[in-house]
A and B are shown apart, each in its own frame.
Chain A
Amino acid sequence: MSLSAKDKDTVTAFWSQVSGKAEDIGNDALSRMLVVYPQTKTYFSHWKTLTPGSEPVRKHGMTVMTGVGVAVSKIDDLTAGLLNLSELHAFTLRVDPANFKILSHNILVVMAIMFPKEFTPEVHVSMDKFLAAVARALSEKYR
């Protein structure tokens, strides 16, 4: 299920439409994840608060979406482009890769809410494939 040329074009075009709202997207997606999948809170016990929309959540949402932006710019070789981030997730953060799928789902839900007209089924399938490819690239260094 690798990214076709059409997928890459679709993702790149959609990202250019939505990236201006990256902070809001990241904040909403992360907030939702912490509420809908409470087991994900275990990774953030060091934050002073996990309240949706709070400062650490908003800040981290932006961090995540900045990473997504980097991935879009490296869409032709995600494994190489996300090498550093993969090492970070594998050796330092050690996030169970199952959670990448969970966060991806919530990013898609937020896309549907914020961009109902633009988030067509074709954009949805390309974005879903793209986020799965990003997750794979992030998992590269795990073992």
Chain B
Amino acid sequence: MVEWTDFERDTIKDIFSKMEYEVVGPAALARCLVVYPWTQRYFGNFGNLYNAAAIMGNPMVSKHGTTILHGLDRAVKNMDDIKNTYAELSVLHSEKLHVDPDNFKLLSDCLTIVVAAQLGKEFTGEVQAAFQKFLAVVVSSLGRQYH
């Protein structure tokens, strides 16, 4: 089981309570598709992803970005058992979506950068450490049911 300090719990709850899902979600997913273009392989039916401007303005990307970010809410509410919280989603990503789990880290790095830009100076080293630890646990849980 993952041990969380009070600071880490408070930091995660704080970040998500102030989260602008419709801004951060789309920005993170779009950034991932631009910075790591091979991730576009999973979004063949999303239409125009031909350049950064197209990706940033693509409504399917926006919608999906928001969906993914809200997917993290369950982990925020169940920080003491993220592993089991995401067991089903892990099976989904493995069996149905066939997503290489290395991609989870790529998206999580982009999310870190977008949240950093949103929070500015508030995103201290300690806050960054807590946020990255949280995302690492999520990423690990999503990769757990792959076989």
Contact = CB atoms under 8 A, between A and B. Distances in A.
Contact of B126 (A35, A119, A122): A35
By size class, the interface of chain A is 10 to 19
Interface residues of B, number: 22
Contact of A121 (B56, B109, B125): B56
Contacts of A112: 113-114, 116-117
A113 B31 contact: no
Given A121-B35, A122-B52, A125-B34, A113 B125 contact: no
Interface of B, secondary structure class, is helix
Contacts of A13: none
Interface of A, secondary structure class, is helix
Given A121-B34, A122-B52, A113 B129 contact: no
Interface of A: 31-32, 34-36, 52, 105, 108-109, 112-113, 116, 119-122, 124-125, 128
Interface of B: 30-31, 34-35, 52, 55-56, 109, 112-114, 116-117, 119-121, 123, 125-126, 128-129, 132
